[in-house]
Amino acid sequence: MIALTLAEIATAVNGRLIVGDDGSGPDTVIDGESQTDSREIGPGQIFFARRGEETDGHRYADRAVDAGAALLVVERDVDRRAPQILVSDSTVALGALATEVVRRVRDAGGLTIVGITGSNGKTTTKNLVAAMAERTGPTVASAKSFNNEVGGPLTMLRVAPDTRTLVAEMGASAEGEIARLTAMAPPHIGVVLTVGLAHAGEFGGIETTFRTKSEMVRDLPEDAIAVLNRDDPRVSQMADLTRARVLWFGLSDGADVRATDVDASATGTSFTIHADGASLPVRFRVLGEHHVMNALAAAAVGRALGIPLADIVATLESATLAAPGRMEVLGGRDGITVINDAYNASPDSMSAALRTLAQIRKPEGRSVAVLGAMSELGEYSIEEHRRVGLQAVRLGISELVVVGDEARQLHISAINEGSWDGESTFFSEQDEAFAYLTETLRAGDTVLVKSSNAAGLQGLGDRLGEAYA
């Protein structure tokens, strides 16, 4: 974070400063990172004590001070050993401080802000963009999937005076949340990847999802750039909602950055990228043809940042993993390949993962899909789980292993399809599924493990990867 005095921080968060017993005063300078988890606190950092659904951060303020916290942002007086700033809402204060830090660095010149949203692909695209941006200078990007009202500001507060690019993943579970994040860090480049059914249950429907995702580009100024998916009919409509210059990506001929000759395999996807009248071959080692769209989105941002196409291709070709738990290739013993893609799931990403499994299955082995529930679908849940079960059948997946009671509709849908030559097995518990799989997997099998994070199958994927390492 940039250096600020305690008085400046108090003003930024609209709080009241209480000096600590450590001798600090209004002119004491703080430049450490901010944390909301006392277990992550290091010397000189700021601890924001938040009240959550399961616990209250104020209970751990003393632990934060013991770990070296230089400042506590709190809603009640908790520990006088360190200075405190009393606020009415610690989460709001976190966002307010992030807004001030980003404003100061942006006003000083030299900082470009890239905001990325979409129903699928945010983290993969963010990682690729960050790798490209590093070629132009110091870059700050969201850690893990820090993309909400807490993770977003924590990322923004890592901006320093020499930061050239801030790459902010911006997610939402309700209307207005992306708008709040873009108000904290107004993008120079706003990216919308997809509008799908991920979180549709929370949003209340696909049209609400559309309105929410479009918040990324609605307030962009004329000198900004909106990077939009030409192939997604809902995203393409957003061109009419923004004043910014539109830069299209996709497979369509009308895309400014597009791909042709796409060829997926078990080692990645090759394609030819076209941009600004130039064309170059790409060997993209991230597994799954659907990740080509994320690569194209990142490439479009790279062009907007002024990065030469050859350097963009070099960055894409150096990437080997979308993110941990996302199409992560494990295993290898007896030719058994385990693809752990259980970090998250939506109907679109589930469909894409199943297509990948069908494409890369070894001729001598079977395709085995180990699937758990897709969460946050609301009224769409039964229908979408039913549809995925049918898709597994129609893609000719050899065996379906469904894990968890919330995913049972997948199993029922598959076994009701009488023409299927494969089989489906259901287990309520992961241990049962693990035991079954380790007993029945054969040499040459390709196994996909896919579910929403809440279903917890990422651990099952890791266990299978270790078992067949």
DSSP state of 322: S
Is 123 part of any known ligand binding site?
yes
Read off the pLDDT of each residue in 360-369 and give the average, rounded to a whole number.
Answer: 92
Reference 200, options 410, 384, 403, 407; nearest CA is 384
- Kind and range of the H or E element at 274? strand 268-275
- Would you identify the CATH topology of the domain 328-467? Protein-Tyrosine Phosphatase; Chain A (3.90.190)
Is 118 part of any known ligand binding site?
yes
Is 120 part of any known ligand binding site?
yes
Give the pLDDT of residue 378.
78
Q: Determine the distance from the C-alpha atom of residue 56 to the mean position of all C-alpha atoms in its chain, rounded to a whole number.
A: 26
Is 119 part of any known ligand binding site?
yes
Give the pLDDT of residue 46.
97
Q: CATH classification of 4-92 is 3.40.1390.10, yes or no?
A: yes
* Domain chopping of the chain, boundaries: 4-92, 110-318, 328-467
| Cα 252 from Cα 142, distance rounded (Å) | 30
Mean pLDDT over each residue of the chain, to the nearest integer: 91
Q: Which two tokens stand for residue 435?
A: 């035991």
Is the pLDDT assigned to residue 418 strictly greater than 90? Answer: no
How far, in Å, are 6, 211, 325, 327, 362 from residue 341 at the CA level?
Answer: 44, 28, 5, 5, 19
Q: What is the pLDDT of residues 220-236, one digit of tens each?
A: 999 999 999 999 999 99
Is 272 part of any known ligand binding site?
no
More confidently predicted of 93 and 327: 93
Dihedral angle over CA of 280, 282, 288, 292, nearest 10: -30
Give the pLDDT of residue 147.
78
How far, in Å, are 4, 229, 295, 340 from residue 191 at the CA level?
Answer: 31, 9, 13, 27
Is 367 part of any known ligand binding site?
no
Give the pLDDT of residue 197.
61
| Cα 131 from Cα 295, distance rounded (Å) | 12
Query: 85 with 10: CB under 8 angstroms?
Result: yes
Q: Which CATH superfamily is domain 110-318 in?
A: Mur-like, catalytic domain (3.40.1190.10)
Give the pLDDT of residue 331.
85
Give the pLDDT of residue 207.
83
Whether pTM exceeds 0.75: yes
Give the pLDDT of residue 274.
98
The per-residue b/e assignment along 75-112, b for 16 or more CB within 10 angstroms, e otherwise, is beebbeebbbbbbeebbebbbbbbbbbbebbbeeeebb
